Chains A and B, each alone.
Chain A
Amino acid sequence: MSEVMIKSSGTLIYKGKKYRGELISEQQQARFNSKKLPLELPYAEMEVLKNVRNGGMSSTITVKMKDGNEYVFMLTNGLKVYHNMDKLWDNKPVVRSRADELHRLAELRGERIVKPKKHLIKRRHPNRSIGGDIGIYLMLAAVACLMAFPLVFAIGSALKPLDELFRFPPTVFPQHPTLDNFSDLIVTMGQSWVPFSRYITNTVFITAFGTFGHLIIASMAAFVLAKYDFPGGKLFFNVVTTCLMFSGYVTGIPNYVIMSKLGMIDTYWALLLPAFAAPIGLFMMKQFMEGLPTALIEAAHIDGAGEFRIFWSIVMPNVKPAWLTVIIFSVQSLWGNSAATVIFSEAKKTLVYALQQIQAGGIARTGQAAAVTVVVMAVPIFIFILSQSQILETMASSGIKD
């Protein structure tokens, strides 16, 4: 009988301390083995209080021992670990599925395993119709073409030589693609008063510093707003939510007056400080942190971690997708910021401002203007592509080291 067993790694909370070990279930009984704790508890002596099953894949069992102590087991029978659940106990779940276990049991009993019939088109989920899937694919493809067309057209125009830009009928793709427009752009910029590299350095500095500061400051505020109930917190958040709706134009002039009173005109602080406090970042962060299991934070409290440690080493690593979202918004607004109203020294101006000057050149610079559009749009899209793949990655394989 004892040759069939299912092992699950789990954490046992025992008198406020956590012990890693494995729960070994045999045919009729189970016991908990731990390396650190000289503890071997047979299942027969446990009184099961709670057995919370989460969709059939993991479960929490609270048991009360004969000696009066309570133990919490968190098990993953299927060991297909989802989201933050895996962080609670183990970084390396045992790679063995429940189906495998059932097959092994069946083999031991000498039963024949019937394999499911293979379909031509595999159903990904049991409750999804194939027709619906195909319909969705077709529709998405059509709309994606419509969405991408203007951007492709912009790139095509930037690569067209001058004679093709004004050809009838106009084409989407250039017949003789050339980088002339881009090299013209560099020539035009090279003749300007301030070297081109200067504009780039300025913008990169503003974007990087502003985004970093915004991420830290907004996350700190979002953490306490999401996870603690303190007087004034809800009110503050409601005010922030309302301010999401007001665009820069609407508050532009009073803002200028305030900045000049603070002596920040013509310094980067005039761009950076409002960017630090952008409502959108706080909002996104808080919404994500609400979804974070409170148990994570409580467990850290039990371990004796201070608020700042909880924030830095538990909350922040767990909201990486939200980081990337916040970063994207911040980069988007800072990179595209021409700063025309608050920065006056030529040497401090941003890239977009310089590019707008070129774009204003009229019909003679149609090609260059298209090149400018491509340059300005390329950076946020490029950053988005990079960080998006990371979002998916963080979602799939993130874990806390405790």
Chain B
Amino acid sequence: MSNTQASFASRYLSMKSNQLRYGFSKAKRMKVCYLFLAPYAILFFTFFILPICTSIVYGFTYYNILEPARFVGFQNYINLILQDEVFLTSVKNTFVIAVITGPVGYILSFLFAWFINELPKWLRAVAVVIFYAPSIAGNAYQIFSIIFRGDAYGYLNSFLLNLGFIDAPLLWLTDPHYIMPVLIFVILWMSMGTGFLSFVAGFQGIDKSMYEAGYVDGVRNRWQELYHITLPSMKPMLLFGAVMSITSAFNVCDVPRALAGYPSTDYAARTVVTHLFDYGFSRFEMGYASAIATLLFLVMILCKKAISAALEKVGT
């Protein structure tokens, strides 16, 4: 009995070591690959992986930069969920923004990229610039603070006053009732971003002969073509677009700070990242901010997993 166990163990070990040796020999043969990868990998590790690991560790500490970090266990997380009401508001706001702008922005990006792809070449170039410009235009969203200004000089207010829809200017950016819709509108305006560009490039990259083959095989309209030919070839772009949507939906920070003020009325425009920014960069409670960051990482990773599982089924 013990004999057979030992032989199993030794066989298992020798198998493992064979695998390892095979891996090593493969790695050796492919050493040019590592040479190519090395410059990027080193920089990436230093400036992306290391900070993320550090912030997970800081999440369990009290750290204010001046004093050395002090281990506090799960205290930060307990405080976040049980005591910090503003955090719960921010979670609610982020959730509302993410659920609306994420999927809607994603679908709009894809649809418009597809429609634009149907245009003749020169018109396509113009259309791509117009749709992509808002997201690339730096802090151009600040112009919305004039459009949505609370007095009668604000463009929207004066427009509605002239038409007689309202008889007094509305405080778009200070009234908690209006802040969210305005923010969602602005974020949607900016949502034709990286994902959109990737879709446009993806559409152009599809082998045209596949469409011809599809036409010969009886693809009769654009929707059939989209489902049977385009979508399956676009899967990498689709997943990328999804990741970009998650990123922009969860990392909303600059737009509410610039438009609704910081802090905003009744914390109506407080998002998880503005909360993190508040604790990290204004109050220097790094441990607490890191705990928020860690929670955010987790939620985003789970979201991405769910979406990539859903995309597996597309076009099959």
Contacts and interface: CB of A to CB of B under 8 A. Distances in A.
B118 A133 contact: yes
Nearest to A128: B222
A157 B36 contact: no
B134 interface: yes
Interface in B50-100: 50-52, 54-55, 58, 65
Contacts of B159: 169
Contacts of A140: 112, 115-116, 119, 127
A250 B253 CA distance: 11
Given A218-B40, A254-B50, A385-B129, A373 B139 contact: yes
Interface string A279-301: 11011100110110000000000
B8 to A, nearest CB: 27
Interface in B25-53: 26-27, 30, 32-34, 36-37, 39-41, 43-44, 46-52
Contact of B51 (A258, A283, A291, A376): A258
B286 interface: yes
B296 interface: yes
A321 B54 CA distance: 36
Given A126-B215, A140-B115, A151 B133 contact: yes
The interface residues of chain A, by DSSP majority, are classed as: helix
Given A244-B243, A252-B281, A169 B51 contact: no
> Most B CB atoms within 10 A — which of A223, A254, A376, A392?
A254
B136 A381 contact: yes
Contact of A249 (B65, B210, B251): B251
Contact of A225 (B37, B47, B212, B280): B37
B54 A231 contact: no
A277 B212 contact: no
A224 B49 contact: no
A129 interface: yes
Nearest to A287: B236
Interface stretch (A37-45, A51-59, A87-95, A182-190): A51-59
Interface in A238-278: 239-247, 249-255, 257-258, 262, 273-274, 276-277
Contacts of B210: 55
A153 B138 contact: no
Interface residues of A, number: 106
B162 interface: yes
A98 to B, nearest CB: 12
Nearest to B186: A150
Interface stretch (A99-107, A111-119, A198-206, A328-336): A328-336
Nearest to A377: B137
A251 B51 contact: yes
Given A57-B209, A220-B36, A321-B201, A230 B26 contact: yes
Given A251-B48, A251-B293, A276-B39, 13 more contacts: A56-B213, A127-B219, A139-B115, A150-B189, A153-B155, A170-B158, A243-B48, A245-B301, A251-B55, A254-B51, A321-B205, A325-B197, A376-B138
Interface residues of B, number: 108
B276 interface: yes
A254 B58 contact: yes
B240 A283 contact: yes
Contact of B204 (A150, A242, A395): A395
B158 A246 contact: no
Contacts of A127: 215, 219-222, 224-225
B112 A143 contact: yes
Contacts of A262: 46
B313 interface: no
17 contacts: A54-B213, A83-B207, A136-B118, A143-B112, A147-B130, A147-B134, A169-B161, A221-B36, A231-B27, A239-B49, A247-B253, A254-B52, A277-B40, A325-B197, A325-B201, A373-B140, A377-B138
A295 B26 CA distance: 22
A311 interface: yes
Contacts of A245: 243, 246-247, 250-251, 300-301, 304
Contact of A243 (B49, B115, B276, B296): B49
Nearest to B137: A377
B187 interface: no
Interface string A132-156: 1100110110011011101101100
Given A233-B33, A249-B276, A332 B136 contact: yes
A166 interface: yes
A75 B284 CA distance: 67
Contact of A373 (B55, B142, B215, B290): B142
B198 A247 contact: no
A282 B39 CA distance: 12
B30 to A, nearest CB: 4
